[in-house]
Amino acid sequence: MFRLKKLSNGVTIVSEKLPFVRSIALGIWVRNGSRHERIHESGISHFIEHMLFKGTKNRTSKQIADEMDRIGGQLNAYTTKEYTCYYFRALDNHIDQALDILVDMFLNSNFEDKEIEKEKGVVIEEINMYEDSPEELVHDLMQKAVWEDNPLGEPILGTEDTIATFNYKSLKSYYNKRYRPENTVIAVAGNFDYDEMMDKIEQKFSNWDFNEKDDYEYTYPQYKAQMITKTKDIEQIHLCLSFPGLPSDSEDVYTLITLNTILGGGMSSRLFQKIREDRGLAYSVYSYPTNYSDTGLFTIYAGMNPSQTSEVLDLIIKEIHSLKINKIPFDDLTKTKEQLKSNYIMGLESTNSRMSSIGRSQLMLNKVRTPDEIIEKVDAVTEERIALLIDQLFDFSKISASIVGKLDTINLKEIKALCQIS
């Protein structure tokens, strides 16, 4: 059972008690990510996430790590385009210590100049590592292409040029503007006494107040259909195809999840079976939806030998057309819905998964669905609804493509013709 509480300063707490486990997962979710940055700030949200592990008024970075290790806990964080999450998982008898460490990091970090300079090198190495991973880079290129001139298209990690400008003043100012009570959800799942847990959290956060005025200016991302390429001296060609998708609050999100599972969401999917298993043309081929608060993408990825690029692309496009013409049989739909429900229920056995589910949902949708409600949403997917979504989604006048590899080894004109890109 989920319970919701709001502190007087605007911090929202969402919790789920699980008396049959011995652990607790707690996350602090902030509605701030790379899409909230100006161009000259690109990467600052991710950089701040790193800096919160680098020492506070009360602990050095080594003490933070040592204290969490001493109680056998796990401490981590990550940044996305729309939010940042800081979280721990620990045994229920260590909740006081784990909570104190996490809140100390979150509210009392030093942002020391010497640590900032050291971390610049770390993040630049992270960027270089990403540049050396073409199977990752091709997805970032796609975002850059379709959300051109919008922060949503900028890389989460930022660039070497923007990172070089970060200092105490810029980091602290951005933190004070975006890390605000009304932007924050605290999610907790596991074995705890509700009243005691609420008291602990309220004591830690009740005095957290507004700092600087938030000057974020929202701009709606306009999807732009185009092809983008990048030359890399590698053996494979990495290719993404994308279509405009759905926002995270769409009524058809679970229809989209079902469609994705059938098309390219796993080893039994049509793309995997046809391209890898039947033809042996690619080691990796899959599809996935990306849902943001106001827009989305549906992307298909394949990595293959350059000589097989056109054949793989042709098979992908033929499979899409087959979906549009033949639709999805009832038996395939029934099997996929059972698969999705089973995966979801089994995933709930982890306190961290439950915490993540309720935290993200409360932060981004301002509501939390119960497991029964989510199962009902999956059950409500029908042949008719999925057929309508297929026709809506796969509009070839809006197809985009990103390609990474040795471009002189493939026929770009043929690829554009297959995709109907002018």
Question: Which secondary-structure segment (H or E) carries 204?
Answer: helix 194-205
Rg of the chain (C-alpha set): 23
Going from the C-alpha of 44 to that of each of 33, 128, 271, the distances in angstroms are: 9, 17, 38
Q: Which residues contact 196 (CB under 8 A, 6 or more apart)?
A: none
In whole angstroms, what is the distance from residue 262 CA to residue 332 CA? 8
Going from the C-alpha of 94 to that of each of 70, 86, 363, the distances in angstroms are: 10, 17, 26
For residue 101, give both structure tokens.
Answer: 């460490």
End-to-end CA distance of the chain: 53
- Neighbouring-strand partners of residue 89: 25, 74
- In a 13 Å sphere around the CA of 389, the CA atoms on its Cβ side amount to 22
Q: Say which DSSP state 64 is in.
A: H
Nearest to 102 by CA among 19, 9, 201: 201
Q: Which residue among 16, 37, 41, 49 is the active-site one?
A: 49
The amino acid at 93:
N
Helix, strand, coil shares, percent, the chain, to 5: 50, 20, 30
In the residue annotation, 49 being an active-site residue is answered as: yes
For residue 268, give both structure tokens.
Answer: 């039994």
The amino acid at 86:
Y
For residue 229, give both structure tokens.
Answer: 């390429």
User: Is the separation of the CB atoms in 2 and 369 below 8 Å?
Assistant: no
Question: Which secondary-structure segment (H or E) carries 16?
Answer: strand 12-17
What positions carry a catalytic annotation? Answer: 49
